[in-house]
Structure 1
C-alpha cells in the first residue's frame, strides 16, 4: 500500500490595511494636553519607539478593516474567495458580542458555507490563529484558509492614562494559507499562563444592557515588559528546536510590534543582526493581533521577505498568552 504523502501549509499571499487617519505623537500630545495630561513626542519615542499610529473612524468596525486586508491577500494569492474553506479572525475588538467577526467578514466577502470563527488571544492572536489553520490544513480538514488579524484598539483606550493610550493603533493584516506538498509552516508553539490575567486586561463585560466593570485597557507596564522579554526568547528557541533549525537560519524576525526595546532584546538574544528585525511599530504603534500580519505584508511588498526566506513570527499578549511560528516563505 502506497503511503500517503505528508501534507503541509504555505502562505500563498499577504495583505494589510490601515485606516487613513494617521495620528502623530504631536497630535496625540495636543489632544491629551487639552485635558491637562502632559506628554511629548520625545517621551513616547524614547520609551516605545512609536512615532505615529492609525485610528479608525467611529463607524468603521473590525470586520471592515479585516475585509480590506483580506481582499489584498486574496488578490496576492490569486485566490477566489469561493474556494476558501476556512476563515479565522484574530481579534480582541470584534464588531459585536456575537456572531463572530469572521462570519461578518464571510458575508462581506459575498461567500458562504466555509467554517468561520474568531480567536481571542490578544496580541498573540495571529500566531494562535495561524497555528490553528496550519493544523486544520495538515490534518485535511481544510485546504485553503484566510487568516486575519484585525483590531480597532482605539475604542478600548483610556485617554486619561498616557502610559497606555500612546501605545496602540488600529489596522488589519491577512494571509491566505494553502495546502502544499512542500513545507511552509515548519513549526508552531503556543503557551498561556492565566496567573497573569490582571497585568494586561480590559475588565468589563456586557450584562443586562449595561457595561459592568471597566471597559478600558489596563496594563502593568513593567510586569508585561519583564514577562515578554523572557517568554519571547524561550518560545523562539522552542519552535526552532521543534523545526530542527538554528537561530542562524532565520532570515527575518517579525515579532509582535509592541515596544522597540522588547523587539531588539529578542533579536539580540537570538544573535540576529539588527537589519534582520522587521520594525513597523514606529509608524503602526501596537495593533495587537494585527501587528504581525501587518508587518509581514509590509516586508513582503517592500521586497524584504522573499520566497524561500525563513521567517520567525512571534507574539505575546494579555492572558498571558504567547507563541511563535517558524516558516519558509
Structure 2
C-alpha cells in the first residue's frame, strides 16, 4: 500500500487578529478589508489548484471563506470540512508569522500517539503531550468546523506560554525514550525552545507584538476526492503498515519528501533541516513571499529574517541576534 506524506507546519499569531474575521459580516476596518482582499486571492488560487488536479470537494474554498465571514459553516457537502479548514488556514496565514515546517510523516497521528504513550510512561503530563495539541483542534472561541474527510487538512494549536513547559518536559525524559523517537522529539524541543525565546524577546522589546498562539497546519498534499476515492485512505491499516509508518516518521533519511522537483527522496538530495515539501496542491499565494519553497534553501533555526508578521499580515522584522550572527540589524518595519 502506498503511504501518503502528511506535512505539518506551524506559525505564530494573535488569536484576536484571526478572530476579527469569522462572523464579521463585512464589519471590518480599512486595513482588515485590504487583508481580506489578499485572503480572497489566496482562496481563489487554492481552488484553481484543486480544479487543476480534478479534485472536487462540493464547496469551493472562496465560498467557504464567505461562509466563515458570515459566521456559519452550514454546507452539507461531503468534504465541506476540507474547504472550511483551508479557508480558515488562509485567514490564519494572513495574520501570522511566516510558516516553518515541523516535519513530513506518512501517518503522523499514529506516530505522535506512540510518542505520547512513550512520554506518558516516563511521566510527562497529559496536557503537554504533542498529539494533544497537534490534533486538539482550534482554540476556544473559534467557529465550529466539521471534520475533514480522511482527517486532513486540520489545525492544531499550542499557547506560546506552554512552549517552554513542553520543551522542558520532553528534555527531561529524552535520554530514556525509545531511540526511534529521539531524533524527532529533539527537533521538536529545539523548535519549541526557539519559539519561546522569540516570544519572550518580542514581548519585551517590540511594542506592537501581541502574538500568543502557535498554530499547526496539518495537510495531506494529495487531497482525497469523494468521487474518485482514495485507495490509500480506504485500505485497512495492518501491523505492517503501522510499522512502516513509524519507521518512515522516525528515520528522516528514509522519508520520502513529497513533491520534490523530480519526485526525489531525501536520500537523493542534501539534507535540508527546515525543508518544506513542494506540493502541487500548495500554490504560491499571490502577492505573498513565502520563504519555504521555490527551491530556496531555508534558513536554519536562529536565522529567521522577517520572522514575525504584525497585525493584519504586515511583514515585520524582529530577530534576536544569536552568537556569531553577523547579519545586519533588523530593518525598520515602516521602511
State whether TM-score is above 0.5: no
Task: Choose between structure 1 and 2: higher strand proportion.
Answer: 1
TM-score (norm 2): 0.28
Task: Choose between structure 1 and 2: higher helix proportion.
Answer: 2
TM-score (norm 1): 0.28
